[in-house]
Amino acid sequence: MQEAFNHLSTVILWEADSLIFEWIMKHKEKTNHITIEHHVIHSVYLERTVKFDVYIPANLPPPEHTSLLIINDGQDLPTMPFEDMLNDLNSKDELVPLLCIGIHCGDERRREYGVAYSADYKQHGDKAGLYSKFIFDEFMPYIRKKYHAPSFKEKSFAGFSLGGLSALDIVWNHASEFTRVGMFSGSLWWRRKGYEEGYDDENDRLMHLQVRKGQVHPWLRFFFQCGQLDEQEDRNNNGVIDSIDDTLDLIVELKAKGFSDHHISYYEMPEGKHDVPTWKEAFPVFLKWGWGK
């Protein structure tokens, strides 16, 4: 009888432990779970509706203790999937409180993304100034009102390819609003002359010119990602693809302004391509660089 009682007690304790463990795991998943909210607003500046997704960690502190990361080409984030990435990092307690918002591009992506002070030689980017106005006059007021956030601890911007160029341009020209920028396979070749029109590296790359003529903002931090398989073009035949050359040259311009290795992180991927799977691999590196504990 005593043996049977001991066995029954063991079973009851084992089942109780199992239930407790199951509750802990469910509670942990709930604690680290990302909630995604989908929004659509009409932009007067862009004359279209703009979609964006807000990735909200559980137990997010008040906005003044939360960082905000805005991401261009937000329509690519579900492909990663970005939600799983954030859940994984948060479950390991690797990130400080971070609210991420992915803004979907529109049909006129090549017109809205670019360098606001000048369209490129094909007149691409002619709406980049309007996109910047959308960010500050329409998008941010909506976010502040919707999430009762008169201010955030800090704000940053990131983007892929041409969306990365747009993010850098916006941060550079509104440095008082931001602390970090992330570029993934950034379109730093954006130029005011075609190659057959007397193009020159020194004088015709629009973002490089803007940095050269601009002011140093010592609080800014820059993250650049490039893949060695981003492209095959090598206009100066130096054995280095243009996307890497353009990025390294921009880093030279930033350092000439007074930025140092403390301000700049360069992440080159030997197998990296100009695609979402590459950016999926690189993005956690960026997140931990900017908001890692």
Q: What is the pLDDT of residues 88-141, one digit of tens each?
A: 999 999 999 999 999 999 999 999 999 999 999 999 999 999 999 999 999 999
Using alpha carbons only, give the angle 78, 224, 186 rounded to the nearest 5 degrees: 65
pLDDT band at 23 (very low <50, low <70, confident <90, very high): very low
Question: Has residue 23 been placed in a domain?
Answer: no
For position 94, what pLDDT does the model report?
97
Q: What are phi and psi of 278, to 5 degrees?
A: -65, -45
CA atoms of 102 and 89, how far apart (whole Å): 18
- Domains: count for the chain: 1
Q: Are 206 and 253 in contact (CB under 8 A)?
A: no
4 within some domain: no
pLDDT band at 10 (very low <50, low <70, confident <90, very high): very low
Answer yes or no: is pLDDT of 26 > 70. Answer: no
173 part of a folded domain: yes
Model confidence over 239-257: pLDDT tens digits?
A: 999 999 999 999 999 999 9
Q: Which domain holds residue 228?
A: 32-291
Q: What is the pLDDT of residue 3?
A: 54
Which comes out higher in pLDDT, residue 2 or 133?
Answer: 133
> Per the domain annotation, does 104 fall within a domain?
yes
Q: Does position 4 have pLDDT exceeding 90, yes or no?
A: no
Please provide residue 189's backbone torsions phi and psi, each rounded to the nearest 5 degrees.
Answer: -80, -5
Tell me the CATH number at 62.
3.40.50.1820
The C-alpha atoms of residue 231 and residue 36 are separated, in whole angstroms, by: 33
Q: What is the pLDDT of residue 30?
A: 42
Residue 23 per-residue DSSP state? H
**Quick check: is 19 in a domain?**
no
Report the sign of the C-alpha dihedral through residues 269, 275, 281, 283, in that order: positive
Report the alpha-carbon distance of residue 156 to residue 69 in Å, rounded. Answer: 5
* Residue 20 covered by a domain: no
Q: What number is the average pLDDT over the span 18-28?
A: 41
* Residue 109 forms part of a structural domain: yes
Q: Report the predicted TM-score, pTM, of the whole model to 2 decimal places.
A: 0.88
Residue 13 is assigned to a structural domain of this protein: no
User: For the segment 194-238, what is each residue's pLDDT rounded down to a tens digit?
Assistant: 988 989 999 999 999 999 999 999 999 999 999 999 999 999 999
